[in-house]
Amino acid sequence: MLADHQGWLSTKLGAMTAPLDATTPTTVLVLNGPNLNRLGTRDPDVYGNGSLEDLRVALTAEELPGVRIDLRQTNDEGELIGWLHDAIDSRTPVILNPAAFTHYSYALRDAAAMLTQAGMLLVEVHLSNPHAREEFRHTSVISAVATGVIAGFGFDSYLLALALIAKRLG
């Protein structure tokens, strides 16, 4: 069960990537930061019982025409930054749960800023609502450079982000 934190959603009208074309699917990168490989067993009261694999299944089950999901997780800040660089080069929209990096990684923020400045959509997502938790979680160094933020809805944070990206691309 997810904690009964009040959901928090904010979106900024932002950039566009190439329109969807069912013949050449657009990849949506779903990037997950540290400790999210432990989903399912880590603090289920906060993060729910679903695993990262369950999340991949839920996103793929959306079967949005012209959209391909590429879900990844790393505990390594440099690897996550490298994936954002790749997304810039390949012009790929990103759903990003930066996990604890949210709160202090200026290096990740700079990479995220390059992505949105290049015109890509970047939706920051969180399973929990960080604003309803410890004070150190109230700061996101990513949000100001993201296209928008969805937090507090468990896996639905990701599904909402995917729907938004598909809508913007469609």
Residue 157 Cβ vs ligand DQA, minimum distance, rounded to whole Å:
7
Active site residue 106: no
Exactly one of 99, 108, 115, 166 binds ligand DQA (CB under 6 A); that residue is 99
Q: Which stretch binds ligand DQA (CB under 6 A): 22-30, 105-113, 115-123, 127-135?
A: 127-135
Nearest-10 Cα torsion for 21, 17, 60, 46 = -170
Size of the site for ligand DQA (CB under 6 A): 10
| Residues near 133 by beta carbon (within 8 Å), at least 6 away in sequence | 5, 46
| Paired sense of beta strands 8-11 and 148-151, if any | antiparallel
Q: Of 65-73, 87-95, 111-119, 126-134, which part binds ligand DQA (CB under 6 A)?
A: 126-134
- Concerning whether 126 is annotated as a catalytic residue, the answer is yes
Residues 17, 122, 3, 141: what is their CA dihedral angle, to the nearest 10 degrees?
A: -170
Write out the catalytic residue numbers: 47, 126
